[in-house]
Amino acid sequence: MAGKGWNYVAGVPETDEQQRLRFQIELEFVQCLGNPNYLNFLAQRGYFKDNTFINYLKYLQYWKEPDYAKYLKYPMCLYFLDLLQYEHFRRELVNAQCTKFIDDQQILLWQHYTRRRSRLLQSNVTNGTTAEQTLNNQNSTQSNGHVNAKIS
């Protein structure tokens, strides 16, 4: 965790216990942002029209830093955290059909990568290479269609 936080309400530094609790609460909340149905819930209750809440979403961008992102179990939440910075996206989340579409697309993405990973693992068994070797080779040479230099 980062250095001592500051409790702006009380005007004093946070204790270690307060910092730990804030960390856990913010971690849980950021991960909830990966659920399109929860985003729809927030939108329908007007949270995305509240400037204080919008500022809170901006504050939560620190979760994209590697020191914090490593604690996330559902990294898709960072993608939605980015999208929530745009007013148009926040407005569209009120629409249940929009939310359903996002949810469907998210499931299709997970299915695609699950099938892809299964095929990689299956082909590795027949080729005698380990899954880790194949994934490392693939990640070092290609990412979203762009060639990257391997960093050792």
For the stretch 89-126, pLDDT in tens is 999 999 889 888 888 888 777 777 677 777 777 887 77
CA dist 34 and 78 (Å) reads 7
CA torsion sign, 147 to 141 to 75 to 106? positive
Which CATH entry fits the domain spanning 18-126: 1.10.10.1340, 1.10.260.30, 2.50.20.10, 1.10.645.10? 1.10.10.1340
Cα–Cα distances in Å, from 121 out to 16, 114, 137? 44, 11, 14
pTM for this structure?
A: 0.65
Please report, for the chain, the start and end positions of each structural domain, with discontinuous segments joined by +: 18-126
Confidence label for 50 from pLDDT (cuts 50, 70 and 90): very high
CA dist 59 and 65 (Å) reads 12
pLDDT for position 25:
96
pLDDT for position 125:
75
Q: Identify any residues that bridge with 6 across adjacent strands, giving them in sequence order.
A: 13
Alpha-carbon radius of gyration of the chain: 20
pLDDT for position 115:
77
pLDDT for position 71:
95
Given a cut of 60, whether residue 69 has pLDDT beyond it is: yes
